[in-house]
Amino acid sequence: MAESSGRAGKSSGSGAGKGAVSAEQNLVSSWELLGWNDVGRGEAAHVIAGFNRLRQEQRGLASKAAELEMELNEHSLVIDTLKEVDETRKCFRMVGGVLVERTVKEVLPALENNKEQIQKIIETLTQQLQAKGKELNEFREKHNIRLMGEEEKPAQENADGAGAGAKAGSAGVLVS
């Protein structure tokens, strides 16, 4: 009786709804489907951790690039606006968290320089993002990783290949 109440307490305290499956349970069921033993589980967990690390790095690069794109658009908007006003007009600029008063003549060249620097950084991030995507795809191919909802290779390739023996020997990693 104490055991059943302990289990109920754990499941209700997790915040998951009825029938919810944790990522670990999903992973374990995936390993069982693939026929892996405990040693295979450790190796698979290592592969999945590496794959998730690469995906997280790729997401971080994409996020930073998107943030800088927005900043570039803001710079362009301000530059276009300031080009239409008198050069002696006062304007305010945030420098290191401090609002400073300057003239348009002083601020405009600094903004244009910042815009150029942001463009260079975006180009660098784009190159890094492409390299990370290539690295991620190579990692997926090397470890035969399939994502949930992704179809397996066509059955025709398996039929033309070495047959059932090769299929049983090369189990892939299923990532949700």
What is d(CA 42, CA 44) in angstroms, rounded to the nearest whole number? 5
**Alpha-carbon distance 161 to 112, whole Å?**
59
Angle at 135 between CA 147 and CA 34, to 5 degrees: 30
pLDDT tens for the chain, 176 residues long, are 444 444 444 444 444 444 555 444 455 445 555 555 555 677 888 888 999 999 999 999 999 999 999 999 999 999 999 999 999 999 999 989 999 999 999 999 999 999 999 999 999 999 999 999 999 999 999 988 888 877 665 544 544 544 444 444 445 665 66
Q: How many Å apart are CA 12 and CA 8, to the nearest integer?
A: 6
8 Å CB contact between 88 and 105: yes
User: Which tokens go with 23?
Assistant: 């990522």
CA distance linking residue 48 with residue 64, whole number of Å: 24
Sign of torsion over alpha carbons 49, 53, 58, 63: positive
Q: Which helix (H) or strand (E) holds 92?
A: strand 90-95
Q: What is the pLDDT of residue 174?
A: 59
